[in-house]
Amino acid sequence: MSPAGPPRQATTIDEVIEQLDGLIAGARRESSRSGYFPALYRKVTVSVKEGIAAGRFEDGERMERLDVIFANRYLAAVAALQRGEPPSRCWQLSFEASRRWWPIVLQHLLLGMNAHINLDLGVAAARTAPGAQLAGLENDFKAINVVLADLTDGVKQELSTVWPRLRRLDRLAGSADDRIINFSISEARDRAWSLAQRLAPLAPDEQVAEIAATDRKVALLGKLIWKPGPVARMTTGFIRLGGRGTVPEIIDRLL
């Protein structure tokens, strides 16, 4: 935990970036793999901020509001963990994995994406545009896919600097890592929109049961990401044993 204590809830996208910077700095000092996801998430947040400034979204003010509500779900999960309180199941799984040596960086990132997109994004969308307002958010919601797709090649290159064997597998498998990343993001965002549609008609207190049920399903998916079948486990093991670089160095590559 950083000296400043658990992260605070943000009110602007700049405050989101500031809170992520604090988490990243703390993880670097402690050589904690918990810094992998916020390092990537910072890059996504900066891209959204730049997209808002460039007019890539229909409603920039609403998109910032969505971004902040979305980010606060993650910041609240981290704060709960640091206070010794249970976060959502899917975030608990991601935080537990960050304390283990074996998962490769891609697994750590996918565990974070799983929790944040499959659960948090749908909740954030429904609360940004409740009820009938949700339909007006759909185009901007989908526009985020463009932002994420723009980052995919960069993430792949950064991971290859950590694990040179990933390049060899890329050549043999026909860009299998691209398919894993793109499939996870696109499928997760489809599920997030479906969750938003189920939640939007409900008041926040009425959303609790649906959010809890979704959390359980997302946590089960997270377990498959962390501990996949034997073939995938052999593949990630091959990559893991060929890894290089310290945890702070890997965090820096992801920034």
Write out the chain's pLDDT in tens, 255 residues.
344 578 999 999 999 999 999 999 999 999 999 999 999 999 999 999 999 999 999 999 999 999 999 999 999 999 999 999 999 999 999 999 999 877 888 888 889 989 999 999 999 999 999 999 999 999 999 888 777 766 665 665 665 555 555 555 544 444 444 444 444 677 888 999 999 999 999 988 999 999 999 999 999 999 988 776 554 555 554 455 445 678 899 899 888
CB crowding 192-212: b at 16 or more within 10 Å, else e: bbebbebbbebeeeebeebbe
Contact 103, 226 (CB under 8 A): yes
Calpha distance 16→100 (Å, rounded): 27
Residue 228: partners with Cβ closer than 8 Å, 6 or more residues away: 236
Helix axis angle, 89-97 to 105-115, nearest 10°: 170
Cα–Cα nearest to 43, from 140, 157, 192: 157
